[in-house]
Amino acid sequence: MKFKTYRRVESLDEAYQLLQEDRKNMVVAGGGWLKMSSRTLETAIDLSALGLDRIVAGEDTIEIGSMTPLSAIEADSGIAALASGILSQAAGAVMGLSFRNLATVGGSVVGKYGFSDVLTPLLAMGAELDFYGEGRISLEAFLKKKGRTADILKSVIVPRSLGPGYFKKVRKTRLDFAALNLAVVTTQRGYRIAVGSRPSAATLGEEAMEILNSADTIDEATIEKAARAVASLKYGDNPRASKAYREHVAYVYTKRAIEEVRDCED
Amino acid sequence: MKIELTVNARRRSVEVSPDDYLVDTLKKLGYKSVRRGCDTTSCGVCTVLVDGDPIPSCAFLSVRADQRAVTTVEGIPETASALAEEFGQTGADQCGFCNPGIALTVHAMQEKESDTDDETIRRHLVGHLCRCTGYQSQHEAIKAYLGDEK
Ligand SMILES: Cc1cc2nc3c(=O)[nH]c(=O)nc-3n(C[C@H](O)[C@H](O)[C@H](O)COP(=O)(O)OP(=O)(O)OC[C@H]3O[C@@H](n4cnc5c(N)ncnc54)[C@H](O)[C@@H]3O)c2cc1C
C-alpha cells in the first residue's frame, strides 16, 4: 500500500470529513491487511490519538474501542468471562502474538473478511457496532450491507447476558486462515449459531437456530436436524478447503458445539 | 515528515515518507539486525519491540513510531548473548536469520509473563518461522536460558 499524505486526526469529525472528501482517503488501523494491498491512497487517516483503544465493561455490555488490538481482546479478563471465552479464543487464533499487537478489531470488522475469525463469535454473540455517522447498527445488518463503508467505526459492543459458548477454527496449520470457523452461544433469546470462512463472510445459521429455539428439549434428534441445517448453508471451494469438506466439518462441529453448550447449561 | 523516536535508549530523529515501514527506517538508521523476511507479517523475522511489545516491523508504519521507544536486538545484548550460548548448545543456531526476532520475543515474554512454562513459550513463538531447526531445539534452548535466568 502506498499513500501520499498521513493525517493523525484530532477528532472523529475530522476523520469522518476526510473519508467523505475523497474515495482514496482511508482509515489505516493496524494496517495489517492494507499492507497487502497494491493500491495507492491519497490520505491515510490515523485514529490513534482518539483513545479508541480501550475496553470498557459496563453493567450490560462490554464496549471494545475500534482501535483495540486483537492481543488486548485476547488478554482481557472481562471478555474471557463471556460465553466461555469464545471471543478471546478467536482473537488468539489469529497469526502470532506480534501480529495481534498490530491488527485491530475495527479493521477486522470493517474489512468484512470472509476468513475472519473474530467476526464469527461477534455475530453469534449479537454484537452491535457504533459508527460516528450512522450510529448503532447490529453486526448482522452491517454484514448484509454492500459497498464501501464511508464511516468511522468507534466501537464494537457485546452484550454481557450470554450463557455458555463454543468456538472452533478448523485450519491446517497454526498460522493458516480458517477452512471454516464456527461459534455457538446461548443468549436470553435462545441459541445463536454463526459460521464463517465458508469461504465467504460469517453468517447466522438461522434455520438451525429456529430448530433449536422452538424445540422443547435439545435431544439428539434436534441436534442432528440443526447440524444438517448448518451443513446446508452456502459453502464454496477455495485453496483452504473444498465445498464438500466445509459442509462436512460444519455438520460435525455444529453437533459437538450444541452438545457442549447444552451440557454446560444443565 | 520528521519523526523522533528512541532506539535502544538513544534518541534519534529521522526523515520518513508517510508510507515508510519501520523495518526500512531502522535499516536506514544502521540497525543491521532488523531483517526483511516474508514482508507479509507471517514469518516473525522483522520483529522489533515498540514500547516493549513485539510487532512485525514490515507492517508498522514509521510515522507511528514517533515519540515511542523501539528496541532491536542490539538493545538487549545480555539476553541475546545468553540465548546465543544456549542456541549453540542445543544446535538451534543454524543460518541464524530468525534469531534476532526470536530473541526479542523471548525478552518481551520474560518481561510480561510470570510463568514461562512450555505452553507460554509456544504461544509466544507462534509466528516465528525457522526453516533450519524444526523448532524443538530452539524450544529447549529457550527453556534452558529461562532456567538459568531464574
Ligand atoms: C498475513 C495475514 C494473515 C491473517 N490471518 C488472519 C486469520 O487467520 N484470521 C483472522 O481473523 N484474521 C486474519 N488476518 C486479518 C487480521 O486479523 C485483521 O483483520 C486485518 O489485519 C485488519 O485489521 P487491521 O487493524 O490491520 O486493519 P487495516 O488493515 O488497517 O484496515 C482494514 C480495513 O478496515 C478499515 N478500517 C479499519 N478501522 C476502521 C475504523 N475504525 N473505521 C472505519 N474503517 C476502518 C480500513 O480502512 C480498511 O479498509 C490476517 C491478516 C494478514 C495480513
CA-proximal residue: ligand 1, atom 23 (nearest): A107
What is the chain B residue with the closest CA to A174? B126
Residues A34 and A63 placed together within one structural domain of the fold: no
Question: Model pTM greater than 0.90?
Answer: yes
Q: Would the CB atoms of A97 and B58 count as touching at under 8 Å?
A: no
User: What's the rounded mean pLDDT across residues B36-44?
Assistant: 94
| Å between A94 CA and nearest CA of chain B | 10
Q: How high is the pLDDT of residue B134?
A: 83
pLDDT at A265 over 80: no
Chain B residues inside the 8 Å CB shell of A72: none
B75-101: per-residue pLDDT in tens?
A: 999 999 999 999 999 999 889 999 999
Mutate to test the pocket of ligand 1, among A101, A108, A120, A153 (most ligand atoms within 8 A of CB): A108
CA of A46 to the centre of ligand 1 (A): 14
Q: How high is the pLDDT of residue A1?
A: 84
Measured CA to CA in angstroms, residue B138 lies from A85, B89, B142 at distances of 31, 10, 6
Residue B14, all three cell numbers? 529521522
Helix spans in A82-204 (H): 86-92, 97-100, 105-110, 119-125, 139-144
Q: Is A117 exposed, middle or buried (0-12, 13-18, 19+ CB in 10 A)?
A: buried
A32-81: per-residue pLDDT in tens?
A: 998 999 989 999 999 999 999 999 999 999 999 999 999 999 999 999 99
Residues A129 and A33 placed together within one structural domain of the fold: no
Class of domain B2-74: alpha beta
The CATH superfamily label for domain B75-149 reads [2Fe-2S]-binding domain (1.10.150.120)
Q: Which of A124, A182, A172, A131 is nearest to A152 (CA)?
A: A131
* B38 at interface of A, judged by CB pairs closer than 8 A: no
Total tally of structural domains belonging to chain A: 2
A136-188: per-residue pLDDT in tens?
A: 999 999 999 998 899 999 999 999 999 999 999 999 999 999 999 999 999 99
Residue A19 structural domain: 2-46
Q: Would the CB atoms of B126 and A1 count as touching at under 8 Å?
A: no
What is the chain B residue with the closest CA to A95? B127
Q: Is A199 exposed, middle or buried (0-12, 13-18, 19+ CB in 10 A)?
A: buried
Q: Please work out whether the CB of residue B127 comes within 6 Å of at least one atom of ligand 1.
A: no
Q: How high is the pLDDT of residue B150?
A: 64
Residues A77 and A174 placed together within one structural domain of the fold: yes
Residues A222 and A110 placed together within one structural domain of the fold: yes
Atom of ligand 1 nearest to the CA of A151: 43
Q: How high is the pLDDT of residue B93?
A: 85
What is the ipTM score, two decimals? 0.95
Q: Would the CB atoms of B127 and A44 count as touching at under 8 Å?
A: no
Q: How high is the pLDDT of residue A92?
A: 97
- Listed in order, the ranges of chain B carrying CATH 1.10.150.120 are 75-149
